[in-house]
Structure 1
């Protein structure tokens, strides 16, 4: 069989990803694996070539489901059960780079002992104040840990987490933990320090993301620009970066007479070194495995099939840890690489024929045309193949991803090459001054890269939301058509028919959606340890009723709100409790049009408000085409009563007193309450959403809250979204 490992590896990884993100589909996937295996056996007995492929794919799918089940239940879950939601004493060391944000410090810890017994567990400790420690310091102390909420971190081995919200004691022992990995991290830190010194803030952050995979310092607005344009894969350290680096080295080695084996050793050192400096990012490891296999084939005078290499890389990464598919960078890396392998040769051949490049007699012009054709082919293939991954995770289709990626991929490649050259010059004594002219050029290129993404992201309908059912139906049909085409070695007629069927399904789904969509108003609620963020959205508009909570959830809140819009039409800051300080956060990440602030606390807010609501006053304004918000300041407490289509919603803030609220506002379809209000028995509603702390006051009034509502919903450190539309 020509592509044995390609079939096994790609099927195994794809099924793992589905089983990881949709655990309830495991039974269906297992059954599908057995059915495909059975069909493959039948076809193989009848000597159909497709039968062997189906047989391997079915077995691989079944094994993927079994492996992720075993890993989840016998490796991951026991760690969570043994140590989460408990206070532990431990000894260990700081095992990776400490990430320092504007308000938090994230310290990755590797334990050697837990409660006096040997145990190797990784813990992410989030600290909200200064803490003096360095990478690979030996530490000990007490922590109250909990199961981590992010499965992306689970995929990287961080099974547990702890934060300053819980009591902890951490101290360094004055010793250092030494490893080859620690040396690589030190090199990485020196590179980051050099980039910070040589470049301005935004350029340095972009170079760190492209060269080192460190997106921590990149402004969130820029991160969302990359998401909206669909070019996030350009700032994920992946095969493109390693390929560019190996390409430069290969050009230099061609001018020498080094034989194949020493050349393989050089590339092996480069791959391992680059992987270590980038923190052994799995997308880089994938590329490194493929590069090593390619040069190994060169040594033994055999051409290695790229899809087989990709399958081998998938198996090497996923067999030890099936949760590797929880890393979005891994899925993006494999998806773009598969697209490049399958499509690039065909696109290059087509464009070469159309442009008659072979007939161009002027060699420099022919070289330029070939370079442009290669760039277009790689950009188009990578952008289109990564689009399903991005839209599934980000919830948007970036309509302009192809033209943007063609332009920005060239700039990203130049940034990568110049960054490597600049750092090489900077670390060489006596000639480090030569790095400064390159730094000036990098500032220009980085600025252009960021501005292009910002401009495209700000274009109306540059990306559209994909939360509708028809999109997922279209995606499933398209994937099925591609899989069938691969199995039957489809010719031109099948490809054309598949494109027409796919377009018909998408167009029909969109048309039905447009005709039947009632454009509901969405209410977004994010409850955190110390507050609530509430938003109202309809048809791309976004308004905020209140915003506050624990700083550790800032990123989640910003990401969620960005899914609705980058513009906030209205923002109401009702009181001082965990709300006023967030206005600065909103100003930094969003285009904030109108702010209404409780006058009582206006002097505590660093930003100027558009309107200050004085005590015992009321204003009414339109949030969107179907929503009116009445904002009332009664004795310094700001209440909000929303009329949404034919439904009503009352937001009662901290320390609200219902006895002071006019009678006509005490009854609503929905009530949001972040504290058990005084005289709450006067309220009446269909649905009561309680977002406050479940403390002694709540316990005392829990029965009352159930009596004044038909349905009581309790939120605790989670997101809740519900829709309101006419007649429902």
Structure 2
């Protein structure tokens, strides 16, 4: 009965989170199975004695019902009423705006829509920055669309306004909200760190302390991701627990009820400063129950607190909020640590023959020194055993083992979720945990200390002194992350099909294990089989990808979108399509590749499209840009040109571009194959004669002067009904004619 609340809460949260990602029919099936199980288990006499199993089935049924009911009663009416129509909106900015590439994002809470009082969350995206700050009121007219981005849906943003020509009127509020004061405090903390530290160090401290990752460079964020250490640069339960436990020790001598009030006030304040992130709220709820239990002198049971937070969180945010990836990872990492950290540590720790477990216990040493001082005894105790180098090594290993145990326990559940959601994982996560945990802990404590002391008059000089070790700690962390991320085979991306296949096999193994009476014994074998399948599949995929050399032409309506896949690396050659189609292609490429080694912009307008529609999850290492006016000379990760040029982007890939009528026409040498891409609007007569002969020629549609082109295979990137007719008309002139009217095309180069 001790774990009953934990079992119900974890079951409820798990089913609610899974329902967010599953198709609606699957949620109905799970709810039906849970209903049948609940009835059967209540009827069967044996299961009445073990009430936990029927209650878990009931929790799953309630979770499915809540998800379905919330979708029908809260989400669909809003989408059906306001989606895909133009409305006049009056809304207040609830959070600080942020910029992702050339898009500015504003999180709003509506006050009126078409003159009627309506309160709902709305995301505004615009290429032009609006002169507004939190609590300001915006009035604008725009078409509202239903968002298909799972991240924003989990945050409660079901409608989005994405209008490049939007006109916004801004008015200041008569009185600021209480939350605005927390935003001001967050800004002051950022300003303090930016003043005292170099930009890269300040950005890292901001990410660790308040979860502000916007100042981190994309390269730094990629390195943390490759090193499997992304959880260090978000405010998670670990950060929250460290700060609360530190405060608890500092307030140890205060009255226990006063200490409870102060700590709960700090929990609310810290959650507000970090923007009430879901993972922080979850940790705050758990810490509230834990501190309250310690205050009333009751032994806390953290698993029950985790279960309670799983039940309460969806009511604080929304049932869809259970699908927030940050919350899910934080929840299951905490669950893994609570369940398995101590058993794993017991296996890893070294002990003497007498059973003594050598560890560094600074608090015990300090208490012992204090007691000997109070008793008037010498600080050195002659009765203590002499120094032993062997014991010292055992203490060092046990300290490392403690970090390993926590990291392994957290990753037992986080690892499969990461693979399923992000289609990627890092093999060096445990190494990153051992190398970075102590430094991140110190960065968190020192950053908080600096932010507290800096505004306090003469204490500002103490903050400046603390800033020096903080700066070197940040530089050390960045150096370590860069080194770990650059290790060979540190990071892998996995195809979506393989992820779903591996997930299905893992679920089947789990069901089989549940059928055995001694299920805990067979659980180890099932986990080992799942890991072998995953690693074996990845190694096989990597081996097959080594020799892959294909030209990929993406179906985009009118225009050309193409790239070369060499060994799993993407080289974008042309991205010329409508904005809606291009956005869909970016989503597809971000899932499959995550980044591109090179992207070629053949027109000056392409730069805007690339900046407009790529997001933080899809980075471009080098941008080759036709820049007639030389506006982007010297820009980061950009090589601009205004005349005929040749670029060697790989040992087997080179791109020659000929500037024709303010458009760059690319001619690619890929291995022993030659590819000509004729951008839309380019005249065949203007293309240099030596470029009109290639192995493969890619066109957006049939154009005048095609008889001058010489190639084996012709690819037409056109989705209209005329595409098959065009292909039939040209099949006698070329060996093969391909069209993209049936979907994306992959042409094998080797």
When normalised by structure 2's length, the TM-score is: 0.79
User: Equivalent of 1:382, from 372, 389, 410?
Assistant: 410
What residue number does 1:182 align with? 180
What residue number does 1:521 align with? 550
What residue number does 2:258 align with? 262
Aligned residues: 697
User: Map of 1:129-168 to 2, 5 A cutoff?
Assistant: 129-168=128-167
Which region of structure 1 is more displaced relative to structure 2, 361-370 or 286-295?
A: 361-370
User: Equivalent of 1:324, from 317, 321, 340?
Assistant: 321
Q: CA 1:543–1:438 in 2, change beyond 3 Å: closer, same or farther? A: same
What residue number does 1:449 align with? 477
Q: Is residue 309 of structure 1 aligned with residue 299 of structure 2? A: no
Distance 2:705 2:61 in 1: 55
Which region of structure 1 is more displaced relative to structure 2, 285-294 or 188-197?
A: 188-197
Q: CA 1:308–1:191 in 2, change beyond 3 Å: closer, same or farther? A: same
Distance 1:102 1:514 in 2: 32
User: Equivalent of 1:438, from 466, 472, 492?
Assistant: 466
Q: Structure 1, residues 473-497: CA drift from partner, whole Å, max 9, x if none?
A: 4444445656776897957743543
SS of the counterpart of 2:349?
A: helix
Distance 1:442 1:620 in 2: 42
User: Equivalent of 1:213, from 211, 214, 220?
Assistant: 211
What residue number does 2:368 align with? none
Contact 1:275 1:284 in 2 (8 A): yes
Give, in angstroms, the shift of residue 54 of structure 1: 3.8
What residue number does 1:695 align with? none
Q: Structure 1, residues 233-272: CA drift from partner, whole Å, max 9, x if none?
A: 1112111111111111121122x1523x333222211211
Q: CA 1:562–1:75 in 2, change beyond 3 Å: closer, same or farther? A: closer
Q: CA 1:209–1:490 in 2, change beyond 3 Å: closer, same or farther? A: farther
Contact 1:379 1:409 in 2 (8 A): no
What residue number does 2:337 align with? 340
Give, in angstroms, the shift of residue 46 of structure 1: 2.4
Q: Structure 1, residues 192-229: CA drift from partner, whole Å, max 9, x if none?
A: 22222222212111111111111122111111112222
User: Equivalent of 1:418, from 439, 443, 446?
Assistant: 446
Distance 2:40 2:401 in 1: 42
What residue number does 2:367 align with? none
Distance 1:460 1:39 in 2: 53
Give, in angstroms, the shift of residue 330 of structure 1: 0.7
Give, in angstroms, the shift of residue 645 of structure 1: 10
Distance 2:128 2:218 in 1: 21
User: Equivalent of 2:286, from 257, 275, 290?
Assistant: 290
What residue number does 1:564 align with? 593
Q: CA 1:59–1:291 in 2, change beyond 3 Å: closer, same or farther? A: same
Contact 2:723 2:739 in 1 (8 A): yes
Q: CA 1:269–1:358 in 2, change beyond 3 Å: closer, same or farther? A: farther
SS of the counterpart of 2:573?
A: strand
What residue number does 2:628 align with? 601
User: Equivalent of 1:577, from 588, 593, 605?
Assistant: 605
Q: CA 1:511–1:415 in 2, change beyond 3 Å: closer, same or farther? A: closer
Distance 2:543 2:205 in 1: 46
Distance 2:401 2:296 in 1: 31
SS of the counterpart of 1:33?
A: helix
SS of the counterpart of 1:55?
A: helix
Q: Structure 1, residues 155-210: CA drift from partner, whole Å, max 9, x if none?
A: 222232224514333221x3244322222222112112222222221211111111
SS of the counterpart of 1:578?
A: helix
What residue number does 2:105 align with? 106
What residue number does 2:74 align with? 75
Distance 2:467 2:119 in 1: 42
Q: Is residue 202 of structure 1 aligned with residue 229 of structure 2? A: no
Contact 1:352 1:358 in 2 (8 A): no
Q: CA 1:516–1:239 in 2, change beyond 3 Å: closer, same or farther? A: closer
Q: CA 1:672–1:424 in 2, change beyond 3 Å: closer, same or farther? A: farther
Which region of structure 1 is more displaced relative to structure 2, 78-87 or 357-366?
A: 357-366
Contact 2:154 2:320 in 1 (8 A): yes
Give, in angstroms, the shift of residue 408 of structure 1: 1.5
Distance 1:620 1:221 in 2: 23
User: Map of 1:632-643 to 2, 5 A cutoff?
Assistant: 637-640=663-666
Q: Is residue 652 of structure 1 aligned with residue 678 of structure 2? A: yes
User: Equivalent of 1:239, from 237, 242, 247?
Assistant: 237
Give, in angstroms, the shift of residue 549 of structure 1: 8.7
Unaligned runs of 5+ in 2: 363-391, 729-737
Q: Structure 1, residues 516-557: CA drift from partner, whole Å, max 9, x if none?
A: 87846373759799x986432221333221357999999995
Distance 1:579 1:58 in 2: 53
Contact 2:553 2:560 in 1 (8 A): no
- Find the structure with the greater CA-based Rg: 2
Distance 2:341 2:236 in 1: 18
When normalised by structure 1's length, the TM-score is: 0.81
Q: CA 1:647–1:688 in 2, change beyond 3 Å: closer, same or farther? A: farther
What residue number does 1:46 align with? 46
What residue number does 2:525 align with? 497
Distance 2:491 2:111 in 1: 47
Give, in angstroms, the shift of residue 634 of structure 1: 5.6
Contact 1:336 1:386 in 2 (8 A): yes
What residue number does 2:378 align with? none
Distance 1:7 1:607 in 2: 57
User: Equivalent of 2:726, from 691, 708, 717?
Assistant: 708
Contact 1:39 1:54 in 2 (8 A): no
SS of the counterpart of 2:457?
A: coil
